[in-house]
Amino acid sequence: MKINVGSGNEIKIKAVREAISDYCFLSEAKVFPIEVSSEVSVQPKSLDEIIRGAKNRARNAFPDCDYSFGIESGLMQVPHTKTGYMNVCACAVYDGREYFIGLSSAFEYPPKITKLVLENEFDVSRAFYLSGLTENPKIGSAEGSIGVLTKDRIMRKEYIKQAVVMALIPMENKELY
């Protein structure tokens, strides 16, 4: 079995590899990175845009495989939060006919980060770097902003795995869906 992941980001690839290792029907699959476009903003700013980006990545990575995975993170509006926004990660799994969608838990960025992202069209890695919250300009390929904010209690790979596992629920429980 072959699985393509619509990204060259090694953290996303590792998250998929680790997540599928717990599933009998996927554990023997070979996982390949495929650099594709999300066809959405560099930093999505709505749940709709985040899910569209994940689906586009999965669809664009589908050639010559059994399943493709698309992973996209971004900001979504959430009432009653300090900034009005939270970050969430979406995973879309595509089998050539239908999509299976999962989301991670969500968390809020510090107000100055949200402002940089919304007002300057910065991606989160750049906003964290420019604001001095990290010395790594590419935290999205490392611990992620979640790693910085939780002081390494939750790393980006684990955060992504949440979305992957949620997307696999209907695939593993086909009789219920």
3, 10, 154 from 61: Cα distances, Å: 9, 15, 28
CA distance 20 to 55: 18
Phi, psi of 122 (to 5 degrees): -80, 150
List, in sequence order, every residue forming a beta bridge with 33; answer none if it has no partner: 5
Q: How many CB atoms are located within 10 Å of the residue 25 CB?
A: 12
Arithmetic mean of pLDDT, 147-173:
97
Q: Give the pLDDT of residue 27.
A: 92
Provide the whole-model pTM.
0.96
pLDDT (tens digit, 9 = 90+) per residue, 22-36? 999 999 999 999 999
Residue 122 CA neighbour count, 13 Å, CB half: 18
| Domain spans, the chain | 2-108+156-176
Residues 69, 92: contact at Cβ < 8 Å? Answer: yes
Arithmetic mean of pLDDT, 144-167:
97
Arithmetic mean of pLDDT, 160-173:
98
Phi, psi of 61 (to 5 degrees): -95, 0
129, 135, 150, 165 from 103: Cα distances, Å: 26, 28, 19, 9
* CATH code of the domain occupying 2-108+156-176: 3.90.950.10
What tokens does 100 get?
A: 């299976």
Count of residues making up the chain: 177
pLDDT (tens digit, 9 = 90+) per residue, 33-83? 999 999 999 999 999 999 999 999 999 999 999 999 999 999 999 999 999
Residues 11, 156: contact at Cβ < 8 Å? Answer: yes
Band (pLDDT 50/70/90 cuts) for residue 121 is confident
- Containing 92, the helix (H) or strand (E) segment is strand 85-94
CA distance 52 to 43: 12
